[in-house]
Structure 1
């Protein structure tokens, strides 16, 4: 892949690709950025780290011309960027690939690549043949075996993301801003993205990206800039800072123990899954979970973890099988039956299925059990506010109050509201699907605390997670899933063994799994 607009000349002093000087920004009188100053040099990759709400996305939107700061200046290659003007930023060579991709799913790949700069023949008619041919070359340069005539919406998120990068670099982008580029893509697509980032860096492009994952910072970045509460608290070459140092800078304290102590499980069986078949042709799944036990579900993308949780809760109707809570069968495909039988869920898609972002903390926390706060069809305002207020205090929610809309909260605090809403009534069993996806390190520690406290209080927990440390550290035992079935079970002693991650991967990928051996002396 080549970026023809990037030039370097050792005889000329290096001019920073991007300079942010004294950037200050507030929303509704609340400071979001406080005097941020940093530069991006040609041919470097900088990780922008910080907890949710630290100001990372706001800073990127200012640098890309979307927002106008209250104070401060952005310069691109020495030229002043007129803030609030995305076209001015683009013309200077600054491009952003946002977390919510801006591609048009109804159009074909080549149409997305050439949108706004379509090729035309001498008669002014669209030259589709030339655009398709050029698009094929672009895709090949970036290692994508994709038909340029494919509809954009039919492609995986990771491929669409790379196509957005292709579009930016082929329009002359010399500064590339990637906002949470790996939050919604599979592991193999992360590796491909990392290769592309390194290749662009080698051609002189300055890249700034945000992520919550330390392994991705190590794989891609040369330098890490850390924001905390809107302030720049660390700007360090990656070789000069440890992972613990990055985390400490992010949260402002030593993170002595990310995972709390695991409580002992009880003896009584709470949740029973009896011969549940997720889809035609898949193997039946049976297991039980005791009071206070955390059962982890591991596996690769598409293994069936989400499908199993949805079948248990009733979002998805299984082909066959029965689910019982405290001995009482649930009605298949009926979530209301699950709520009535004290089964709760925290879904993977927090924004799409777990919460209503346009509603307040109070309204979101009331949703599952609105009847509990109503009398004769009228909501009891004081009772509701007092109950939800106490619950959110126990969740250690960081907000401006119960009336704040969820869309204005960080991802970790949104997740706390989704957890807390179930504490308005008794819950015997809790289903968690990727409970810390899109949540920063500091908030993860809080969510782990919540999970173990709920387990200690007697809830039976089933937790699906792609984060191996979560499975290994929180679970009393774990299942490994593949092709909508369970292919392995590991007890607590096996989860503590040094080679367990290799065993889990082998099971999940269909390789012959080596036995788990305790190699400690």
Structure 2
């Protein structure tokens, strides 16, 4: 600890909701010009602590000091005035407004009674320049990638004098190259003396950006260490309160029977794609954002209609553009956006799990409640779903448990082919381990699994075979043995970015 005045100091912070403690006696200090990672599983209290530090919530006990000033409880305007700003997961930018209008909303520059638009455009360019990203001040916010909008929100905060910046899951919804841009922004602000606190589930980001890591578990602060003084395993152990077995379970042997056979599938204006997946095989789809992985999975499942080509499941032809046909053939899709497309968050676990198979739990239009409750309870028990009961709303579950519901609701009936799109996005490390074990267990039971993932360790450690996608087609294929090579990540990136082309023979057989 240095002798300089702390940028922000939390002392004895406690907070509960409906009598349930969420934070317990948290004391934390942020120094100027430092980057602190706030780690912990979903539900550990990270977002609550940030909202208290930014004045959005009032603590039940304790106080916040910003410099030498006490932060009035539950007063975000006072927090902003004292130089504390938060960039939340759900960005507050107004999509229909221009970049410079967002930057100056509420403090517009004027020339007499008129808006000084030219002055705001010029000043916006000056404010954005230090962040090293080419952004047109006159671009409409809604047309920009999430990562760029995030940087604009950071520029807005710092232009208003923020000396403490809180970033809540800043990389959860942005592309890999945007993560690199964010890293540059963080380093720039650090050099300017800003104190930064950010949350993330990704160990590589903690290691790359943070000077220090603080871990919350069950609302208590259990670790506070310089990043160079703690290992990744120690961080994970602090988060989950136990030693984590090998994160990735051993892959099962796969069979020879082809369960998914995709031939000449044309998605949009992309080249035709062919793919075969065998019983018990896990095929990983790697690639950069926009490579076409989600579009391919949705077309195979029937959410999108292919221009041509065929899909067969265990020899049964799927009618194009008809998810009901896919489900009848025992093929299911777990989508990337579990909150928007995977689950109805306001509904209970029981009702969510009933939705895909309502017919199986109905008799002449009436739900057979005991049958569905028994079946769904059994499946959720097998997935180790943490819940109070089946009537609990899905929105009250952690991200990992929400994902278990989205996967588990298909497992009340037979499944031959499982399509997974970013199965662990926004899921903490403890729940990731459990989801990986679920995926491997389902493959061991004989399911054919196709998994699109932007998480390279998932691709390398779970897949029997990895296909690299670029511009909607397969750019390369790697066997399980090749995935273990020391240079495989570089090779995958080079194929994904178009820097290296696979031999024609390899491309012809990429999907097999």
TM-score, L = length of structure 2: 0.96
Q: CA deviation at 1:372?
A: 1.5
- Structure 1, unpaired ranges of 5+: 1-11, 517-521
Alignment of 1:135 onto 2:124: yes
Structure 1 residue 144: deviation in Å? 2.4
Distance apart, 1:496 and its partner CA: 2.1
Separation of aligned partners in 2, 1:378 and 1:78: 65
Question: Are 1:94 and 2:117 matched, yes or no?
Answer: no
Q: 1:292 aligns with which of 275, 280, 294?
A: 280
The CA distance in 1 between the partners of 2:500 and 2:33, in whole Å, is 43
Counterparts of 1:199 and 1:312, CA distance in 2: 44
Q: Does the 8 Å contact 1:50/1:226 carry over to 2? A: yes
Q: What's 2:510 paired with?
A: none
2: CA distance, partners of 1:322 / 1:257: 39
Q: Does 1:254 align with 2:243?
A: yes
Of residues 320, 325, 328 in structure 1, which corresponds to 2:313?
Answer: 325
Q: CA deviation at 1:514?
A: 8.8
Q: 1:141: how far off?
A: 2.6
| Residue correspondence of structure 1 range 68-217 to structure 2 within 5 A | 68-122=58-112, 124-217=113-206
Mapped contact 2:475–2:502 kept (Cα < 8 A): no
2:325 to 315, 333, 337: 337
Q: Which residue of 1 aligns with 2:352?
A: 364
Q: After superposition, what is the alpha-carbon deviation per residue over 1:45-103, rounded to whole angstroms, capped at 9, x for unaligned?
A: 10000111111111111111111122221121122212222111111111000011111
CA offsets 1:318-342 (integer angstroms, 9 cap, x no match):
1211111111111111111111111
Asked whether the 8 Å contact 2:133–2:181 carries over to 1, the reply is no
Q: CA separation in 1, counterparts of 2:261 and 2:173?
A: 31
Partner of 1:6: none
> Partners in 2 of 1:416 and 1:422 — Cα distance?
10
User: Does the 8 Å contact 1:35/1:231 carry over to 2?
Assistant: yes
Choose from 177, 200, 211 the match for 1:222.
211
2:452 is aligned to: 464
Residues of 2 paired with 1:514 and 1:289: CA distance? 21
Match of 2:422? 434
Mapped contact 2:32–2:194 kept (Cα < 8 A) = yes
Deviations 1:252-311 (A, max 9, x none): 11113001111111222111101101122x221112111111111111111111111011
Contact 1:503–1:513 (Cα < 8 Å) also in 2: no
| CA-atom RMSD in angstroms | 1.5
Deviation for aligned residue 1:13: 4.9
Q: 1:505 aligns with which of 456, 474, 493?
A: 493
Uncovered stretches (5+) of structure 2, i.e. residues with no partner: 507-512
Partner of 1:424, secondary structure, is coil
Cα pair distance change 1:238/1:490, threshold 3 Å? same
CA contact (8 A) 2:475 2:495 kept: yes
CA contact (8 A) 2:39 2:216 kept: yes
Instruction: Report the count of equivalent residues.
Output: 503
Match of 2:31 among 34, 41, 46: 41
SS at match of 1:423: coil
Residue of structure 1 in register with 2:7 after alignment:
17
Equivalent pair of 2:476/2:502 in contact (CA under 8 Å): no
Equivalent-residue separation in structure 1 for 2:276 and 2:500 (angstroms)? 26
1:441-520, aligned counterparts within 5 Å? 441-512=429-500
Whether the 8 Å CA contact 2:54–2:79 is kept in 1: the answer is yes
**Alpha-carbon offset, residue 389 of structure 1:** 1.4
Report what 1:242 is aligned to.
231
Query: Distance between the aligned counterparts of 1:401 and 1:130, measured in 2?
Result: 58
Separation in 1, partners of 2:370, 2:51: 40
What whole-Å deviation, never above 9, does each CA across 1:188-212 have from its counterpart, x for those lacking one? 1111111111111111111000011
Question: What secondary structure, in the 3-state scheme, does the structure 1 residue paired with 2:36 have?
Answer: strand
Q: Does 1:352 align with 2:340?
A: yes
Distance 1:131 1:287 in 2: 53
Counterparts of 2:242 and 2:343, CA distance in 1:
30
CA contact (8 A) 1:503 1:514 kept: no
For residues 88 and 370 of structure 1, what CA distance do their matches in structure 2 show?
A: 51
Report if aligned partners of 1:65, 1:81 keep a CA contact under 8 Å in 2.
yes
Distance between the aligned counterparts of 2:460 and 2:212, measured in 1?
A: 30
